[in-house]
Chains A and B, each alone.
Chain A
């Protein structure tokens, strides 16, 4: 049985409950053992880096320290958490900065786990095989949306191409779902500006949704809790926005009604369609 270290982050238990629950449900079905980082704390989100650079390293670094004893790669579902953890990891990799972190956190980093976005787990050959054997049969076009924090800064993350990301597209294609080509898959949703200036975020979200529709998609599929919340909260078009793990859940027959009830834009019609074309 494969084991992973898991950093859920705050939102996966609250505002992105359906992402957290669909992730754990799917991983359990795939027989992957999930070990949460012991006594994990918030990653600092956009606030630590905005007000105190020192904290923006130390707060996420505490999670990496707590993960070390588990001795396996960390998978992170939330883009913001992933981004902050990676910045802390790069600081720990730097000899001079590491000494400061070790002093503040009373520890020694002899070993550093790898940190990946949750999508990367579903790009492994054995799991791709499972996805491919659970293909939807019928036509459905969706727009894969990545946002920012899974992609940039490229020199820190070194994971996906910042201009042409493919992970979510690949997962959906493996499931037999067609993904549209569209120019805004890596465009910013407005992020944490949503509460401070919702008018700006509404404009960005309108643009993203209308481009996704224009490209011929019936829904957006994303992996970022803040993107998903903004896309649902700040639109008036009733356009459904899914987490990719929810789609995998339907494909594998382990989806739960409670996921759909948590959405601010009712996705029922499309869920019905997905179930109809399930293999």
Chain B
């Protein structure tokens, strides 16, 4: 029974019909990052159809997917595995579960918090929050410094005028 619930939720949310998949595996063949996935794109479709939600939510795949939509663009049945991954990422976040690729969730949370604070993204404070969340202070330090010195990460804070509306939308 539960397998049908997951499939119908995914179909409804992603506005596509996973049952049309005939396993040609073009999605996996064409995905630029399938080599780094623990559940390959074609298998992801199968796991939704058979209701293996827990395994999907624990997977690296949903975080490694860049949302490039190459799968959806080349699928003969117009199925985007990227849209499934997007739906599943939201589910991990909303359920408060831990993400298999934690920095990927950390960056999204830091990014949305920046929008909530300023209405736009302030790179300096967003990256600071990301570093605090990951507790990894040394990765990309050189590149970050180079960008800062080139004036690409300004410290000046700008807030949009309609910030209250943004906060209301993001309640």
Interface residues in chain A, defined as those with a beta carbon under 8 Å from any beta carbon in chain B:
10, 14-15, 17, 39-42, 44-53, 55, 58-59, 62, 104-105, 148, 151-155, 162-163, 186-188, 190-193, 195-198, 200, 204, 233, 261-262, 264
**With A62-B165, A148-B70, A154-B73 in contact, is A50–B147 under 8 Å at CB?**
no
* CB pairs A–B below 8 angstroms (18 shown): A10-B120, A41-B160, A42-B115, A46-B67, A49-B67, A50-B93, A55-B169, A59-B169, A153-B80, A188-B68, A193-B64, A196-B103, A196-B104, A196-B106, A197-B103, A200-B36, A204-B32, A264-B146
Of the residues A17, A39, A53, A198, contact of B151 by C-beta under 8 Å: A17
Bound Cα distance A187, B146 (Å) = 27
Decide if B86 is an interface residue (CB 8 Å cutoff): yes
Min C-beta distance of B10 to chain A, whole Å: 12
Min C-beta distance of A49 to chain B, whole Å: 6
Decide if B139 is an interface residue (CB 8 Å cutoff): yes
Closest 10 pairs between A and B when the two form their complex, measured CB to CB? A152-B69, A188-B68, A47-B111, A196-B104, A47-B108, A196-B103, A148-B68, A191-B66, A10-B121, A41-B119
Min C-beta distance of B130 to chain A, whole Å: 7
Give the chain B neighbours of A204 by CB distance below 8 A: 32-33
Bound Cα distance A193, B120 (Å) = 20
**With A162-B73, A197-B103, A264-B147 in contact, is A42–B140 under 8 Å at CB?**
no
Decide if B170 is an interface residue (CB 8 Å cutoff): yes
Q: Are B166 and A62 in contact (CB under 8 A)?
A: yes
Bound Cα distance A39, B160 (Å) = 6
A51-B89, A197-B101 are known contacts; what are 6 more A-B pairs with Cβ within 8 Å? A39-B162, A53-B90, A152-B69, A192-B66, A198-B139, A200-B33
Q: Are B169 and A15 in contact (CB under 8 A)?
A: no
Decide if B13 is an interface residue (CB 8 Å cutoff): yes
Decide if B51 is an interface residue (CB 8 Å cutoff): no
Q: Is the interface of B mostly helix, strand, loop or mixed?
A: helix
- Chain B contact-residue range equals 35 or more
Min C-beta distance of B21 to chain A, whole Å: 17
Q: Are B13 and A53 in contact (CB under 8 A)?
A: yes
Min C-beta distance of A135 to chain B, whole Å: 32
Which residue on chain A has the smallest CB distance to residue B62?
A50
Decide if B109 is an interface residue (CB 8 Å cutoff): yes
Min C-beta distance of B164 to chain A, whole Å: 12
Give the chain B neighbours of A39 by CB distance below 8 A: 160-162
Q: Are B120 and A41 in contact (CB under 8 A)?
A: yes
Decide if B150 is an interface residue (CB 8 Å cutoff): yes
Give the chain A neighbours of B90 by CB distance below 8 A: 50-53
Q: Are A51 and B108 in contact (CB under 8 A)?
A: yes
Q: Are B104 and A14 in contact (CB under 8 A)?
A: no
Q: Are A196 and B170 in contact (CB under 8 A)?
A: no
Q: Are B150 and A153 in contact (CB under 8 A)?
A: no
Give the chain A neighbours of B114 by CB distance below 8 A: 42
Q: Are B13 and A15 in contact (CB under 8 A)?
A: no
Q: Are B89 and A15 in contact (CB under 8 A)?
A: no
Bound Cα distance A105, B53 (Å) = 34
- Mark B122-152 against chain A: 1 for CB-CB distance below 8 A, else 0: 0100000010000000011001001100111
**With A50-B89, A188-B66 in contact, is A42–B119 under 8 Å at CB?**
yes
Q: Are B70 and A188 in contact (CB under 8 A)?
A: yes
**With A51-B89, A53-B90, A191-B66 in contact, is A262–B150 under 8 Å at CB?**
yes
Bound Cα distance A41, B80 (Å) = 28
Bound Cα distance A58, B107 (Å) = 20
**With A41-B160, A187-B32, A264-B146 in contact, is A148–B69 under 8 Å at CB?**
yes
